Amino acid sequence: MKDSTKHLEDLTEIRSIMERSTRFLSLSGWSGILAGFIALIGTALAFLFLGNADLSIESLNAAQGVEKTLSNGVFLLVDAAVVLFLALLITIFFSFRKASRKGEKIWSPVTRRLLMHLSIPLITGALIVFILIMQGQYAQVAALTLIFYGLALVSAGKYTNQEIIWLGLVDILLGLAALVWPEYGLYFWAAGFGVLHLLYGITLYYKYDRQEG
């Protein structure tokens, strides 16, 4: 019986070592929770700035004129960039703290692969959104940021906790919905970056963080 228990413990330890060598497991639930709150604050600021939740180009032009509509598009881009930047800072901080507590290195070949697969879709999406805004096609900012963010999470998911893949897939679906119904873009944006991140963070916390003490 003791040999069987020891054998099971050895297998568990081997599996843990293999996971740590191929996947980045220091993501913290708190980073997801705080990122969700930041996204909701960013959405609230967008509502206040725009004065209208309808992001369709016809609605913005009719209500405020083309020049004001351009400034609205630029504001949405900056708002999204600030939210993303703060969310990344929070993720890095909590990941570093969690890795330090577990005695693990945060910068490793796995981390580099994770960042590469995460950054390529994010940078591509940012450039596309910037180009569209410069061309005056800025009604789809919320949709495109959701789609490319979701693609980045799915791309990076194989190097970290699998929950991030589901988060990415739902964000992609919300982004596609925002393309079909741009007048509800901010609502989809709030759901994808705000509510979903809160749920994702809470899931990580109860599934991993709380068990680790």
Q: In this predicted model, what pLDDT tens digit does every residue of 44-82 receive, in sequence order?
A: 888 787 765 555 544 544 445 445 555 666 777 788 788
The reply to whether 17 falls in a domain is no
- Is the CA virtual torsion 184, 185, 188, 194 positive or negative? negative
What rounded mean pLDDT belongs to the chain?
75
Is 5 inside a domain boundary? Answer: no
Range of the domain at 54: 38-212
Q: SS3 breakdown of the chain: % helix, strand, coil, rounded to 5? A: 85, 0, 15
Domain assignment present for 62: yes
The answer to whether 83 and 193 are in contact (CB under 8 A) is: yes
- The reported pLDDT for the residue numbered 80 is 77
| Residue that has been written with the tokens 């209208």 in this structure | 52
101 in a domain, yes or no?
yes
pLDDT above 60 (res 213): no
Q: Is residue 16 part of a domain?
A: no
> pLDDT per residue over 105-154, tens digit each?
666 777 788 788 888 998 999 899 888 877 767 678 788 989 999 999 89
Q: pLDDT band at residue 5, thresholds of 50, 70 and 90?
A: low
Q: What is the pTM of this model?
A: 0.77
- How buried is residue 21: exposed, middle or buried, by Cβ count under 10 Å (0-12/13-18/19+)? exposed
What pLDDT sits at residue 56? 52
Contact 165, 153 (CB under 8 A): yes
Q: What backbone torsions phi and psi does residue 113 show, to the nearest 5 degrees? A: -65, -40
pLDDT of residue 6: 47
Higher-pLDDT residue of 204, 144:
144
Q: How many domains does the chain have?
A: 1
